Amino acid sequence: MPVLKSLAFTAMPKTASDPVHIRRAKFIEKLEEQKLLLQDPAYIRTVQRMAEVDGQKQPVVRKQRVKPWWKTDSTGQIVMSIKSVQSPSSSRRQSWHRRPVQRQAAWNHGHTDFSRQGRGAR
C-alpha cells in the first residue's frame, strides 16, 4: 500500500468542446490537405467508414478525391478561394419552418390578395 499513498490526484484537463475551436481545427485539417495536394497533384484522401459486408457492419477504407481550392488566372497568378459553410442551428431551422405564413405576410406587407397590390385599392 505504500505505492497508493505516494500517488497524487490531479484534475483531468477539459477536452475541447468549443464549437469554434472544433471548426477551426477542421479548417486547419483541410488547409493541410491543400498543402499536400499542392505538393502531390495525385493526392487522394483515405477515409474509413462503416459499411455492411456479407450482412455484418465492418470498417471499409475508401478513397476520396481532394478538389483544389485554387485556380490560375489569365495573368498566371494563383487565386485561392476558401469554402466555408455553416448550417443554422436546429432551433432556428425549426422556428423558420413553423412560421411560413408570418414570413409571407411580412413579405407582401400584410396583403393576402396579390391582385390588389400596387393599385391603391384596399
Q: Is residue 31 part of a domain?
A: yes
Query: Which residues, at least 6 apart from 106, have a Cβ–Cβ distance to it below 8 Å?
Result: none
Q: Is residue 116 part of a domain?
A: no
pLDDT reported for residue 17:
81
Q: 26-75 pLDDT, tens per residue?
A: 999 999 999 999 999 999 999 999 999 888 999 999 999 999 998 988 99
pLDDT reported for residue 120:
54
Going by their DSSP bridges, the two strands 44-53 and 56-65 should be labelled as: antiparallel
Task: Answer yes or no: are the C-beta atoms of 36 and 57 closer than 8 Å.
Answer: no
Q: Which residue has the higher pLDDT, 115 or 32?
A: 32
pLDDT reported for residue 23:
87
Q: What is the pTM of this model?
A: 0.52
Task: Answer yes or no: are the C-beta atoms of 122 and 116 closer than 8 Å.
Answer: yes
Which percentage of the chain shows pLDDT scores above 70?
A: 66
Structurally, the chain folds into a number of domains equal to 1
Q: Is residue 56 part of a domain?
A: yes
Answer yes or no: is pLDDT of 108 > 50: no
Q: Is residue 7 part of a domain?
A: no
Answer yes or no: is pLDDT of 83 > 50: yes
Domain encompassing residue 51: 16-83
Q: Is residue 38 part of a domain?
A: yes
Q: Is residue 4 part of a domain?
A: no
Answer yes or no: is pLDDT of 1 > 70: no
Q: Is residue 77 part of a domain?
A: yes
Which three cell numbers, joined as nine digits, stand for 54? 456479407
Q: Is residue 113 part of a domain?
A: no
Q: 15-28 pLDDT, tens per residue?
A: 768 888 888 899 99
